């Protein structure tokens, strides 16, 4: 789901950077007081887990690949802002050091996966937790993959409309919404199943670990 360089227009990534910069600043401001020596090891380990999960590509039917991200686990365990900043850090590292995901597309990737993924996971979990915690965790994981995929499909699918040359040829990503929506949503709906299980198992393990440390 990492959008590479050259796929999105400046009309898209410049406003995305402006919005993302505001959210990064707000996130850091909010977390400054919350980060302490007890929280940091959890954040570090979950961020590293998210990074590893994003690097492990799973082959899918149709000759494509996708990956889990651990974003919902970060969001339900540590909150939206922490998850957003952790995922942004992972995406920035991948783009700057390893060429995975574009530098121009970093803000769009961070907004889709980091912010929308975390926010949707956290809201789903908070709303459904009173009904059934396991189902709430699973659905949080599923939503954290599918909603960002929808956002990325919209951003990519709108590029032919946003930026064209004089002859009407798309200057950036060439496929429209009719192509991008099924192409992104179908594989990620499948990946979301795995992400949901990972969120459920991971959260249970972390809760047990925290309880053991508390006693």
Contact track, another protein, 118-157, x by CB under 8 A? ----------------------------------xx--x-
Closer to another protein at the Cβ: 99 or 134?
99
Near another protein by CB under 8 A, which window of 59-67, 68-76, 120-128, 138-146? 59-67
Q: Virtual CA dihedral for 127, 129, 130, 134, nearest 10 degrees?
A: 140
113 binds another protein (CB under 8 A): no
* Nearest CA among 94, 111, 78 for reference residue 8: 111
- Three-state DSSP state, 17: helix
In order of 25, 51, 134, 145, the CA distances from 73 in angstroms are 23, 13, 13, 12
28 binds another protein (CB under 8 A): no
Greatest Cα pair distance in the chain: 69
164 binds another protein (CB under 8 A): no
Q: How far apart are CA 123 and CA 140, in angstroms?
A: 8
Residue from 14, 18, 21, 40 touching another protein (CB under 8 A): that is 40
184 binds another protein (CB under 8 A): yes
Q: How far apart are CA 75 and CA 147, in angstroms?
A: 14
Closer to another protein at the Cβ: 139 or 146?
146
Q: How many CB atoms lie within 10 A of CB 34?
A: 11
| Smallest separation (angstroms) from another protein to the CB of 24 | 16
Asked if 63 and 192 count as a contact pair (C-beta separation under 8 A), the reply is: no
Note the residues at the interface with another protein (CB under 8 A): 1, 3-7, 35-37, 40-41, 43-44, 47-48, 51-52, 55, 57-59, 63-65, 89-90, 93-94, 97-100, 102, 152-153, 156, 165, 173-175, 179-180, 183-184, 187
């Amino acid at each position: 789901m990492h959008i590479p360089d050259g796929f999105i227009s400046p009309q898209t990534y410049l406003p995305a950077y402006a919005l993302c910069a505001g959210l990064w600043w707000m996130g850091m401001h909010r977390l400054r007081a919350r980060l302490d020596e007890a929280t940091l090891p959890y954040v570090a380990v979950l961020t590293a887990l998210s990074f590893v999960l994003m690097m492990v590509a799973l082959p899918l039917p149709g000759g494509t690949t996708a990956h889990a991200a651990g974003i919902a686990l970060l969001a339900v365990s540590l909150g939206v802002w922490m998850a957003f900043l952790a995922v942004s850090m992972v995406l920035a590292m991948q783009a700057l050091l390893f060429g995975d995901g574009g530098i121009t597309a970093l803000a769009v990737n961070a907004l889709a996966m980091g912010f929308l993924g975390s926010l949707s996971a956290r809201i789903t979990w908070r709303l459904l937790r009173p009904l059934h915690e396991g189902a709430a965790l699973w659905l949080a994981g599923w939503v954290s993959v599918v909603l960002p995929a929808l956002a990325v499909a919209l951003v990519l699918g709108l590029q032919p409309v946003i930026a064209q040359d004089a002859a009407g040829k798309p200057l950036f990503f060439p496929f429209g919404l009719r192509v991008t929506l099924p192409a992104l949503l179908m594989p990620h709906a499948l990946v979301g199943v795995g992400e949901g299980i990972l969120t459920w198992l991971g959260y249970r393990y972390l809760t047990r670990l925290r309880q053991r440390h508390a006693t």
